[in-house]
Chain A
Amino acid sequence: MQHVSPVREPLVTGGKSYHDVTQDVCRQVEAKPNIRWMAALSVALFFLGIFFYSVYRTLWYGIGEWGLNKTIGWAWDITNFVWWVGIGHAGTLISAVLLLFRQKWRTSINRAAEAMTIFAVICAAMFPVLHMGRPWLAYWVFPLQNTFGSLWVNFNSPLLWDVFAISTYFTVSLVFWYTGLVPDFATIRDRAKGPIAKVAYSLLSMGWKGSAKHWSRYETVSLILAGVSTPLVLSVHTIVSMDFATSVVPGWHTTIFPPYFVAGAIFSGFAMVLTLMLITRVVFKLEDYITLEHIALMNKIMMITGSIVGVAYITEFFIAWYSQVEFEQYAFINRATGPYWWAYAAMMTCNVITPQLVWIRRVRYSIPATFVLSIIVNIGMWFERFVIIVTSLHRDYLPSSWAMFSPTIIDIGIYVGTLGLFFTLFLLFAKFFPVINMAEVKSVLKYTVDNGPTYTGVDPHHAHAHQPATHGVPASAPVNYNKHD
């Protein structure tokens, strides 16, 4: 049994029993969709429609539908790609890194955060694939035989590293998430009333019965997946940052990029987890599981990573000056004071200044403040990628090719469209899948419930109720402790 400090708030409030956890989490899976969910889904589907229309225009008329020009060949597409991948990272961080650090509070949020990872990576993948112009030839990025062309893929290219990193990250996150879902699908299956639900959850649960041997293996698998996912998640954003860092463009060619991008990814990811969790806990009445304590903890991580990002911004500026490379110096002066100064100002305000409000306890524990803050951070992180990508490209070594970028309606459509795609997937997940990992919450329930008595080996309170046992059983073995009394 783990020691829990009495000054710590319980992880799950409301004195829940195991059965209460099952009830609370399964409720929304078993109930008819409520009106708020339907309304939210309609909005998400509307934006998904915008996504499909924009993709249709892009594929039918070509990349000319976007606002790109010969100077700025990467703009919103790669901005959005990096933004979405970054958002995804918080899910892996919560489920893998916090598992390795034995942070029990992650159990209430890891399921939804992992789902967010998967959906965010799906959204992210749309951009490089669409930017290819001919997505039906997307398989050319894989190392295939010469019959598909005359050459092999170039393993020296960071763009190809990205292909491997994102594919590995996506598939590994998917199996990690699914393996965690299997026991909970079994719970829903065993409660299911309708014939369709019975069959559907039986198929999904892979015949899980919760046998001790399977649990033992399951824990081993989870631990190893967590151990391997931790360097994986760091490698993914490192490789994403190398798309820029290995080039010679001023403003991109910096060695600080990998850690700076990873911190930014966690920063934006936690902001998105907070946004989603604040909505989910209210809509599905899960306030006892996703408590203010969780929100405060996530706020702290957001503030720390935000500060790391802030230090990175300042370091970049310092190094540009210290290096005495005039192109590098100009790139940064231009970022802050050039035609895109407003993007830089938005980035600085949203990412460096506002998260510092979390130092104030009242802000940290305030739901409205956290919600606003999390949205601001997501806006700020979008601007960060925009600043890095567009302001670096738009003025480099050759002033005659300097240009400006302005997005077309299709650029905007694809971006807001991926938001629609993301929320459609998330809402479907929240309705049909258990949003909280029931098995894991049950396993941490006992030593976190503040008012629930726990078994301590010898329980004088209950011992008198039993007859002394025979067959060599210790007389103190307590029996049938009912959690509801």
Chain B
Amino acid sequence: MTKRFALGVFEDEDVLLHAVENIRAAGVKIYEVFTPFPIHGIDDALGIERSRLPIAAFFYGLTGLAFALWLQIYTLGVDWPMIIGGKPHIALPAFIPVSFELTVFFCCHGMVITFYAISKLYPRWKTPVLDVRSTDDKFVVAIELKDGTDLGHLTQLLRANGASEVNEKEMSKF
């Protein structure tokens, strides 16, 4: 479906931050903000909830730890017990390194895969962007234009808040 956007282009991240707060305060819904680098404080300004990825990472790590302990105890203690160096079959201190490594392995890869999945990031042949300068040096506020949106009013609002340009763009598959 084709969507229409008003794009407020900003030159400076602090101007953008204030603009985002003011635009939201004026009751305008911001579709998305595109920036060339992470801006601290924009999460609060946009009302983005804190990511729950750390919690996911913790449980992935826990899974890794459980798997590692099961693997070592099952293979050396249950399936085929052997006496190695006169030590007990289940020599827990010797299992620490592998348990740690697998905890880290599961934690990192689980979290990163989740990050790419929930952000819908995957390799694509073509990547349509609203403003190519938003990965270079411009900060772009995208506001979706629905039928009946007053573009003039919006432009004025964006400009008043420091936008250097206001553009209109249509985008399908966005």
Pair B121/A442 contact, Cβ less than 8 Å:
no
Cβ of A401 under 8 Å from chain B: no
Q: Give the chain A neighbours of B14 by CB distance below 8 A.
A: 455, 457
A186 and B91 CA atoms in complex are apart in Å by: 49
Q: Does A74 contact B (CB under 8 A)?
A: no
- Contact A190–B53 (Cβ < 8 Å): no
Cross-chain contact A473 with B36 (CB below 8 angstroms):
no
- Shortest CB-to-CB span from A262 to chain B, Å, is 14
Q: Is B63 positioned at the interface, with any CB of A under 8 Å from its CB? A: no
Assess the B84–A156 pair: CB atoms within 8 A. yes
Q: Please report the total number of B residues contacting A with Cβ < 8 Å.
A: 80
User: In angstroms, how far is the closest chain A Cβ from the Cβ of B105?
Assistant: 4
Contact across chains for A213 and B32 when beta carbons are under 8 A apart: yes
CB closest residue in chain A, given B79: A152
Q: Which residues of A contact B161 (CB under 8 A)?
A: 469, 473, 477
Verify B136–A175 contact, CB threshold 8 A: no
Complex Cα distance A146/B14, Å? 62
Instruction: Give the most central of A17, A167, A190, A209: most B CB within 10 Å.
Output: A209
Assembly CA distance A400 to B29 (angstroms): 84
* Alpha-carbon distance A186/B119, docked complex (angstroms): 15
Is the pair A190, B32 in contact by a Cβ cutoff of 8 Å?
no
Which residues in B have their C-beta under 8 angstroms from that of A207?
120-124, 127
| Chain B residues with CB below 8 A from A235, complex form | 97, 100-101, 104
Task: Tell me, yes or no, whether B66 is within 8 Å of chain A by CB.
Answer: no
User: In the complex, what distance in Å separates the CA atom of A229 from the CA atom of B100?
Assistant: 12
Chain B residues within an 8 Å CB radius of A318: none
Q: Interface majority SS on A: helix, strand, loop or mixed?
A: helix
Q: Given that A235-B97, A439-B36 are contacting pairs, would A209 and B76 also be in contact in the complex, using a CB cutoff of 8 Å?
A: no
Cβ A212 vs Cβ B33 within 8 A: yes
The residue that B36 contacts in the complex, of A151, A168, A442, A469, with Cβ under 8 A, is: A442
Whether B48 lies near A213 (C-beta < 8 A) is yes
Looking at the assembled complex, report how far the CB atom of B151 sits from the nearest CB atom of chain A, in whole angstroms.
15
Task: Give Cα A8 to B136, complex, Å.
Answer: 28
A175 contacts across to B, CB distance below 8 A: 108-109, 112
Contact A154 B127, CB 8 Å, known A165-B101, A221-B112, A473-B161: no
B57 at the interface (CB under 8 A from A): yes
The proximity string for A residues 444-485 relative to B, scoring 1 for CB distances below 8 Å and 0 otherwise, is: 001000000001010000000000011111100111111100
Contacts A228-B108, A481-B12 given; indicate if A212 touches B43 (C-beta within 8 A): yes
- List B residues 48-72 near A (Cβ within 8 Å): 48, 51, 53-54, 57, 61, 71-72
Assembly CA distance A69 to B34 (angstroms)? 62
- Is B36 a contact of A206 with CB atoms below 8 Å? no
- Specify which of B112, B121, B159 is in contact with A225 (CB 8 Å cutoff): B112
Measured CB to CB, the closest approach of chain B to A20, in angstroms, equals: 9
Bound-state CA distance A215–B121 (Å) is 12
Beyond A213-B48, A224-B53, A442-B137, list 5 extra A-B contacts (CB 8 Å).
A158-B97, A191-B132, A438-B36, A455-B14, A472-B25
Which residues of A pack against B, CB within 8 Å?
A: 17-19, 22, 143, 146, 151-156, 158, 160-161, 164-165, 167-168, 171-172, 175-176, 179, 182-183, 186-187, 189-191, 198-199, 202-221, 224-225, 228-229, 231-232, 235, 239, 242, 438-440, 442-443, 446, 455, 457, 469-474, 477-483
